[in-house]
Amino acid sequence: MPLDRFGRDIDYLRISVIDACNLRCTYCMPLSGARFLPREELLTPKEFGRVVQAAVAVGFRKFRLTGGEPTLRRDLTDIIREVKSVPGAGELSMTTNGILLPELAEELSAAGLDRINLHLDTLNEKRLQQVMRRHDIEKAWAGIEAAERAGMTPLKINTVVVRGENDEDVVELAGLTVDRPWHVRFIELMPLGSGREAEYSRDKFVGNPESQERIELALGALEPIVNAHASDESRNFRVPGGKGVVGFISPVSAPFCDACNRLRLTAEGQFHLCLLKNDRLDVRKALRESDDLDEVKNILLRAVGAKPVGHELRDGRSNTVLSMHQIGG
């Protein structure tokens, strides 16, 4: 696997396949006025496949599809087949809001998708509609059940905690792991974007120590679980007697940059070197001008070599002007 200039093993590529979404989460996208990439600017399934070929050739072994909302790609199964057809590609997971899974889960699993990360910010119907906007509990449960029926487990539920919107709901979500072998992971709100979006992120921030304390007061002291891999960004615990896992992903209060093993590929073909920075390298031009896989590998290795030491947040401010839906989770 490739090493960056700080000695980190970089072997995980998160691939955004689209920047559009069928929800409008308060911390991610406005209700109206969002602009999305035209279809011709998005990478094709074969282009995604060639990037994965190059990535595997230099040592990448883990891949995740993200959005926006990836299930909005009508050719998503083609993308999955292209990725999984690459010898040595390893695990392929996908992050989704789950709304379209009842219709798609079996098809995606048959195409080769191994596992689902499902985004759900609360189990409270009223607050779900307030924070995730255009979502409801019935759709959320239908998506979860579809993923389980299709065998895409262990199911991981990701929750972004937002002050005054769903911070009091972390206990009920963590409680899902008592009787179920699910992973419920709480993610700190990251200061992405610019202007009003960035101010919102700072004003609504909840550190994971606060969420953990709230959970422990209600459910008892959480039992630590040693991570199998040092690069796992989640600090994992178990509720006393629980079957599942409660995780905390804390990029702001406890950055894990020194163990970061990932790059991101945006839907339009840019290697994004750090989630909270603007550093990017274009690969789409090389993909469309030549069939030379070595050129794609060279760009990928340059991206690994240029990966920064960390996001270097200052006063809760990041260096990126991009929103999460434009980068991929």
Nearest CA-CA partner of 68 in 264, 270, 267: 267
Task: Specify the pLDDT at position 33.
Answer: 81
Give the phi and the psi of residue 41 in degrees, each rounded to 5: -90, -15
User: Which of 199, 206, 225, 216 shows the shortest CA–CA distance to 121?
Assistant: 206
pLDDT score, position 279: 85
pTM above 0.85, yes or no: yes
pLDDT tens for residues 129-182?
A: 999 998 999 999 999 999 999 999 999 999 999 999 999 999 999 999 999 999
* pLDDT number for residue 29: 84
Predicted local confidence at residue 310, as pLDDT: 77
Can you give the pLDDT at residue 320? 53
Which is it for strands 262-265 and 270-272: parallel, antiparallel or unpaired? Answer: antiparallel
Question: Distances in Å between the alpha carbon of 194 and those of 64, 141, 182, 200, 293?
Answer: 26, 34, 35, 10, 36
Amino acid making up residue 114: D
Determine the pLDDT at residue 184. Answer: 98
Average pLDDT for runs of 10 along the chain of length 329: 88 97 90 89 98 97 96 98 96 97 98 97 95 93 97 96 96 98 95 69 92 98 84 91 96 88 96 86 96 96 91 55 55
Output the pLDDT for position 325: 53
Architecture of domain 12-327: Alpha-Beta Barrel (3.20)
**pLDDT for residue 232:** 81
pLDDT score of 201: 77
DSSP string, 56-91: HHHT--EEEEESS-GGG-TTHHHHHHHHHTSTT--E
- Tokens at residue 209, please? 């120590």
**Confidence at residue 220, expressed as pLDDT on a 0 to 100 scale:** 97
Q: Which pLDDT belongs to residue 309?
A: 85
The three-state secondary structure class of 317 is strand
Domain ranges of the chain: 12-327
